[in-house]
Amino acid sequence: MSALAGATLLASLGVSIVTVALPALARAFSAPVSSVQGVVLAYLVSVTVTITLAGKLGDLIGHRRALMGGLMLFTLASLSCAVAPTLGVLIAGRAIQGLGGAMLLALPLSIAREVVAKERLGSAMGLIGTVSALGTALGPSLGGMLIGELGWRAAFVMLAVLSASTWGLAAWAIPSAAPRPIASAKSLDWLGAATLTTTLVLYALATLGGKSGFAMDARLLLALAVVALGIFIYVESRAPSPLVPMALLRDSMTRASLAMNLLVSTVMMSTLVVGPFFLAYGLGLGEAETGLVMAAGPLVAAFSGIPAGRMTDRFGAQKTLVFGLVQTTAGLVCLAYAPRALGVAGYVLALMVLTPGFQLFLAANNTAVMSGAEESQRGMLSGLLGLSRNLGFMTGASVMSGLFAHFIGAHGLGGASSDEVAMAFTMTFLGAVGLGVMAMLLALSKLGKREESYL
């Protein structure tokens, strides 16, 4: 499990450690903020559009082999980023790094299902959730220290060193599975891969809006994404070896698990994109103070992930999942009201209720999906879980921040009083409460049979 935890930590650091480098990159390349944001967006979009393909590749050539290849690709891409002479080369390197990151996100869950006893699978999922949160919490502080002392290139050198070390650990610690032939090019669903990639790129551009630098209207991009999705479903329903078997998505339990994952990821992302505006404009905190308060969520997640996994093993996936959703929704209610009454203390207390609920849901939902997965579909299912999570993150970053802006009004943050910002924050998270309730209803109506599979 140490190698799988290391791979997950790397994928998380790949996002969080670079965010603090943006000001340094803007100075180094004499580029505007809108341009250097491409360093973050290239990685996120690359991971999102390839994570399902990464899982499927693991099913075809072997999960261990695919993970080792992903670690090697991540290492080489990190080195190319470290020596990038221009911003364009750096962004291209980050896109390639995202291909490796997709492997690191998609495959640890499926490998854990192979090497961990079924009765301890929840604990394994909890550990993976813990290191993911730890990477999110450590990235900004670790990156800030490295960049402050050695410059922005040092962050990518560190990622390369950690990736190479994890490759060596994985080669030693992950047992080799039964030999299987390397898939030929004909065995891959290229048309399905192309239509899915097109769908996800269009959706990513639609959710990113003006941040992508793409001139086309977001509503048109979203409509094109829906059309591309329809084409993808048509192609997959007729493919002899589909990338995503439609029979799998017709299973109500799998479909509900993916939908809940998307909904919960959407509301969790809202804490990251809306929270800083409330802390700065509603409570009047400075940048350093805002960063410290925002770090409370990932730190609580890091400490609650392993206990969440143990609860899943002890009480079963469904009971833990439902309890996690109830606690998540209660935490969202607290976040909507407590900071307005108690200030920073209320915000932190709300995160201490919300974040463990999310970890309970994550461990239980991943366990519920992976415990009953057939060996030939574990990588693909793991990839779909990662895809639904990333789609939720992108949706949360776009929709929830847009909802917050709507409640602020036409005068914007600069013209809003602290009371108006606080009210917009409350209304936004009451909308998030609605998404939490939807996830709870899905859990209660669709996952009853999953418990039998897990037990």
Predicted model pTM: 0.75
Tens-place pLDDT, residues 120-166: 666 777 677 677 766 766 776 677 778 878 888 988 999 999 999 98
Report whether pLDDT(335) > 90.
yes
Q: In sequence order, what DSSP letters do the residues of 57-100 get, joined into one string?
A: HHHHH-HHHHHHHHHHHHHHHHHHHHT-SSHHHHHHHHHHHHHH
More confident residue, 70 or 305: 70
Which of 83-97, 137-151, 207-221, 241-255 holds the top average pLDDT? 83-97
Would you put residue 68 in left (φ > 0), alpha (ψ -120 to 50) or beta?
A: alpha
Confidence band for 213, pLDDT divided at 50, 70 and 90: low
Which pairs with CB-CB distance under 8 Å and at least 24 residues apart come from 186-193? Answer: 187/60, 187/241, 188/56, 188/60, 188/241, 189/56, 189/236, 189/239, 189/241, 189/242, 189/243, 191/235, 191/239, 192/232, 192/235, 192/236, 192/239, 192/242, 192/243, 192/244, 193/53, 193/243
More confident residue, 104 or 177: 104
More confident residue, 133 or 217: 217
Confidence band for 454, pLDDT divided at 50, 70 and 90: very low
Share of the chain above pLDDT 90, in %: 22
Q: What is the CA radius of gyration of the chain?
A: 21
Q: How far is CA 164 from CA 79, 110, 199, in A?
A: 11, 21, 33
Check: CB of residue 61 under 8 Å from CB of residue 68. Answer: no
